[in-house]
Amino acid sequence: MIFGEKDSDPMGSQPQQPTQIRLDMGAMETIYANFFALAGSPEELVLYVGASSPIPNVNQPPIKISHRLMMIPTNAKRLMLALQQALKAHEDRFGPIELPPPQRPPGA
């Protein structure tokens, strides 16, 4: 799926043909992430992703942040909508995705 394309021209007349987009995946990296954090400003949103691996005898191992994705809020919203659509299709096919309740810090 490629998102962010308009379905019709700004004047509202005939729908445009889909744009052919060529993707060069020669330098693509695949990472595993089980952690994310968000930050932002009025001009951009930043998504940090990384992985936390359990280490024996270490109570809170450090989370290694591997990538930072920066985007304008408009593209972040497009990403959110695309993820919602993909997750809905996934749940329609495989069943609901259950989230565990949030964990409380010890002593809270």
Give 102's pLDDT tier (boundaries 50, 70, 90). Answer: confident
Which range, of 35-39, 64-68, 100-104, averages the lowest pLDDT?
100-104
pLDDT tens string 17-28? 778 889 999 999
- Residues 7 and 19 sit within 8 Å (Cβ to Cβ): no
More confident call, 57 vs 36: 36
pLDDT for 10: 47
Q: Tell me if the pTM is above 0.85.
A: no
- Residues 38 and 56 sit within 8 Å (Cβ to Cβ): no
Length of the chain: 108
One DSSP character per residue, 24-58 reads --TT------SEEEEEE-SS-EEEEEEE----TT-
